[in-house]
């Protein structure tokens, strides 16, 4: 199901594992978690990959059972996340390395706790597999975080764009292969594996891509909400689009993610962006934004 070779992924580790269709286009960008020698979890983005897996099993006449387990990721993110999670699970949390997990005890129940999450600040994802004790865990985390004014939330738009964290469905879509999405390091082009879409991606890699995800800073006042792609132009012609944009107080400029024609992705390249408030000059920037 994934174009990444997971055979060497050790138990206790996580890895981004793109799932592609037969033409090499992205269906999802899940995190694969090896929980046992013969068992992987896929923590997926917003798309019903379960149906895709069922279709594969049916088409290949596989004798397998496909189901979505009753597991709910609970994310604790932010600069004080480690202190909060340590208060609940103990000092063992500090030993967990990035994109790795440990099975840690909470009131006699073992939870899979991974140092991962959709945040540049860092934090943890706790995979809750029991609803009743999950409520107790939530309350314990809330209590431990009171001193930091903890509360429920969602990914911070400014932070995620500054960090170059792409959203499936806007910054990357089914119109992209992992190569256009700047995810080539997660594709095992040379591995001796069978994977849906891998041959198609190899063909794309051989001929080269014509566009790619990149970051841009946009001059001018604070940009409005970016609900639809904004055209990016150079020399009077459209050469790409901005898919996510926001004002960054830290950098005192507008930061954005988008896709540009391959000849224009070099850092420092000057372009213009057509926003709902007018056309403004912009410049290609490295991501994460410095």
CATH of the domain at 8: 3.30.70.1400
Last residue of one domain, picked from the residues 180, 209, 238: 209
Q: Are 27 and 38 members of one domain?
A: yes
Angle between helices 131-144 and 81-89 (to 10 degrees): 120
* 57 three-state secondary structure: helix
Q: Are 172 and 229 members of one domain?
A: no
Burial status of residue 80 (CB atoms within 10 A of its CB: 0-12, 13-18, 19 or more): middle
CATH of the domain at 77: 3.30.1360.120
Q: Look at residues 217, 257, 254, 218 and name the one whose alpha carbon lies nearest to residue 240.
A: 257
Q: Look at residues 256, 252, 258, 244 and name the one whose alpha carbon lies nearest to residue 221.
A: 252
pTM: 0.90
126 beta partners:
74, 113
CATH of the domain at 217: 2.40.30.110
Domain that holds residue 10: 1-47+168-209
In a domain, 59, yes or no: no
Q: Are 182 and 216 members of one domain?
A: no
Alpha-carbon distance 59 to 182, whole Å?
Answer: 31
**Residue 281, CA distances (Å) to 212, 221, 271 in order:** 20, 11, 6
In a domain, 57, yes or no: no
Report CA dihedral (156, 157, 163, 165) to the nearest 10 degrees.
Answer: 100
* 282 three-state secondary structure: strand
Buried b (16+ CB within 10 A) or exposed e, 187-215: bbeeeeeebbbbebbeebbeeebebbbbb
| Per-residue pLDDT tens digits of the chain, which is 290 residues long | 999 999 999 999 999 999 999 999 999 999 999 999 988 998 987 667 889 999 999 999 999 888 888 999 999 999 999 999 999 999 999 999 999 999 999 999 999 999 999 888 899 999 999 999 999 999 999 999 999 999 998 889 999 999 999 998 899 999 999 999 999 999 999 999 999 999 999 999 999 999 999 999 999 999 998 889 999 999 999 999 999 999 999 999 999 999 999 999 999 999 999 999 999 999 999 999 99
In a domain, 66, yes or no: no
Give how many domains the chain has, as a whole number.
Answer: 3
In a domain, 67, yes or no: no
Q: Are 185 and 240 members of one domain?
A: no
């Amino acid at each position: 199901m994934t174009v990444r070779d997971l055979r060497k992924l050790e138990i206790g580790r996580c890895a981004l594992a793109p799932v592609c269709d037969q033409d090499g286009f992205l269906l999802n960008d899940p995190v694969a978690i090896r929980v046992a020698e013969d068992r992987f979890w896929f923590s997926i983005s917003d798309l019903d990959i379960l149906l895709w897996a069922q279709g594969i099993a049916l088409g290949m006449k596989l004798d397998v059972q496909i189901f979505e387990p009753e597991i709910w990721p609970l994310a604790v993110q932010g600069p004080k996340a480690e202190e909060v999670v340590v208060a609940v699970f103990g000092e063992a949390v500090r030993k967990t390395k990035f994109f790795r997990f440990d099975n840690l005890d909470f009131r006699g129940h073992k939870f899979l706790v991974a140092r991962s999450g959709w945040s540049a600040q860092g934090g943890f994802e706790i995979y809750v597999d029991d609803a009743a004790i999950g409520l107790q865990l939530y309350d314990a985390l809330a209590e431990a975080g009171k001193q930091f004014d903890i509360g429920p939330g969602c990914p911070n738009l400014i932070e995620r764009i500054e960090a170059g964290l792409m959203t499936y469905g806007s910054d990357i879509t089914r119109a992209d292969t992992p190569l256009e999405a700047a995810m080539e390091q997660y594709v095992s082009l040379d591995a001796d594996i069978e994977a849906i879409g891998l041959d198609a991606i190899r063909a794309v890699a051989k001929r080269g891509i014509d566009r790619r995800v990149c970051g841009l800073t946009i001059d001018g006042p604070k940009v409005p909400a970016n609900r639809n792609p904004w055209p990016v132009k150079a020399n009077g012609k459209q050469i790409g689009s901005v898919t996510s944009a926001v004002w960054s107080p830290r950098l005192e400029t507008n930061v954005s993610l988008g896709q540009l024609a391959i000849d224009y992705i070099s850092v420092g390249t000057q372009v213009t962006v057509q926003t709902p408030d007018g056309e403004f000059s912009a410049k290609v920037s490295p991501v994460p934004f410095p």
